[in-house]
Structure formats: structure tokens, C-alpha cells
Structure 1
Amino acid sequence: MTSLTDLLAGNYPRDLATGMVVNFQIAAIALGLGLALGAPFVLLMLGGKLTRRLASPLIGLMRAAPTFVVMFFLLNIIPRPFLFFEIEVWMPPSLIVALSLTPYAAAYVADNGRAALVGLRAGSQTEALLFLPNLIRAFTVLVMSSSAGVAIGVNEGVAVVLREAERLPTLGEQMLCFALGVFAFGAVFQVGFAIVRVMMRHLSRRKDADAIHAGE
């Protein structure tokens, strides 16, 4: 029977770490594209009534877009390879997953970016700085959501866990494999959430200090 020591001594930890890096890469690309796509919507939402009426339903649509549906839609409509300005381009599955997460990321940026700019216009830098921990929170959610890539053969962390578990003969060994995968992802997420909590506490103290100075 495979023991914890056997799993740790094998290739599983290295393969899992490599797969998790893919999750982080997908999340980073999705967040970058979300920032680029969401920024114009922030400006539209801060514009007049007409631009808000145009932007609001589009943001709602992006917010509600199911990742799996978008992913399989892109997988089937984008030819591989395809020509872009007469250059043959190959879009890897990991990029398709990132693109499928972009609508959510863009909606998140639009919502929180608008709140940050409203706070800044009101003279509250603290409210504006809340955008930073919100971005970290969004990145964490995107890392978790990037595991959808296992459905189209992306070699990310969950795919590594499933592949390793399949070769183990007993349920106990498979559960141990899953437990290590959950621990690895959970440790990373807890670090991210801890950073958010520290930033939120700092901003809360700053907000309280600003309120005290304003009352003097």
C-alpha cells in the first residue's frame, strides 16, 4: 500500500506543483484580460445615464456567464490553428480556459473599479485602495475556477491529482492522493486570504484614523 512517504518521495509533489503553476498562469492571464476589458466598463458606469444603461446589462451578462459554457463555446468556434494578420496562430487549451474566465474577471473589475473611483472622487483614498485586496480575492477565485481546464485536457493541478489517483489501486491510497492535492491548494488559498485580511485590517485602521482626523 502506498504511504504518505511514498507519495512525497515520488514525482507527485513535483507534478502537482507544476500543474498548480498552470492554474496560476491561467488566473493571471484571465485577470489581466479582465482588467483590460473591465476598465472601459468602469468609465461607462461613471458616465451619464445612457452609458450606464448600456453598460449595466452587459456587465450583468458577463457576471452570469457560465465558465463551462463559454469554454466549450470557444473550444468549438475557434479554429486551431487560425490566421491573425496572415500569421498562423495556435491557441492552447490553457488560453481558452483563461478566455472563458475573462467575462467574470471583467465584471468583477467593473463592479469594484467603479466603487473604487466613486470613493476616490468622494475624497476617500482608503475606499479606493480596497480595490487591491479585491483583486487578490478575484485572483484566488480565478485560480479555483481554472480547474475547469481539466475538462479539456489542460495539465493543471486538479488534472495531476486525478491522473495520480487513477493509477493507485485502493480507495485509501486514492483518498491520500486527494488529501495532498486539497492540502496543497488549500495552503496557497489560505496565504492569499491571509494577505487580504491583513490588507483589509490595515485599510480599516486607516479609515478609522481618517474619520478621527475629519472629526477634529
Structure 2
Amino acid sequence: MTLFTDIQDASKNLLPKNGIVNYYGKILDHQSADFYYQKLLDEIAWENDQAVIFGKLIVTKRKVAWYGEKPFQYTYSNITKTALPWTDELLALKEKIEKLSGETFNSCLLNLYHNGNEGMAWHSDGEKDLKKDGAIASLSFGAERKFAFKHKEDKTTVSLLLEHGSLLIMKGTTQTHWLHRLPSTKLVSKPRINLTFRTIVAS
């Protein structure tokens, strides 16, 4: 396992093969990151996430929200969500990320983890609603958390710490060949907000 910390070279690919992951580090100063964290915490229409697993409806402690430029339908874990219209803060963050990365996005799935006990199991974002091999930009606020990748075939793992106000971008064939997760931890007691900007392909 490789653990990356304090990476400044956004052009560096964190994956050894079969995909591209770039970590930009903190793209916002601490005051701006604090501002957005509080705004998102207070004003986003958070709701508990749901999943249908083996025919049973599971409600998670983690909360989510789904926003976009149109009322896009997005289906994952056998649950379909309809996007809410952009907030001013989400639009401002989207434009900043697009300018930095050269990518474009039309939607955003937000996650609120109340503490380290809440995480995300190994998965890849390969839903049919998403642009194939499209970039996914992950912007983090709040508690610093470990984030990990695992190759689907040879099980190689790569890990890094996602900082308050930091940006990570996954693109190329990353979702095809790699899983990723946010492991739970008893060492974190504060919330983390994660924005994942995506491109939905309207049917």
C-alpha cells in the first residue's frame, strides 16, 4: 500500500496502471473552505441515503443530496434520484474545479459523513447514467479522511489522505479497473462533506 500525503503536483498519476487519479491538494484557503463547509452543512437538502440490497430497503446513517443543471435521473443501488437545481455555492465550486482541471461537469452527488464510523465500502462509479470514462471530481470539506483504491484484478492498493478544501479527480478507465472506498475509523469524530461532480448522459 502506498500512502500519499501533501501532494502538490496535480499532474502526477497516483495509479500505477489502468486509470488516472490526480490529487490537487487544497484548492481553497482555510477560511474559504470553512465558509463552504458551513454553507453546505446548513443549506443542502440532505437526506438519508437508501439502497435496495437483496430486495430489502436499507437506510444509511450517511446523508446524501443530488444536484444538477437539469432534473437528471441517477440510479445507483437500485434507487433513482432526481437532481435539484444548483445552489450558488455549488455553481461557484463547479466553475473553480472546471477552470483548474479543464473538465466539465453537469451534476453533483454530495455525501455527509457525520463521523468516522460512517464510510463507504469498496465500489466503482460505473452506472449507466454516467459518461463512460468521464472525469469525477471529488471535493472534500471537514474532517480529513483516508481514501483508498484497489485494482479489481491484482488487488494492488493505493491510499491517500483527503484534506479540508482538497480536490481529487478520477478519470480515464479508473472506474473500469479500480474500486475505491472511504474506510470507517474510530479516530475521527467530526463530520466530512464530499462533493462528487459528475457528467450525466441524458437518455
TM-score, length basis structure 2: 0.26
TM-score, length basis structure 1: 0.25
Specify which structure has the higher proportion of helix.
1
| Rg comparison, structure with higher value | 1
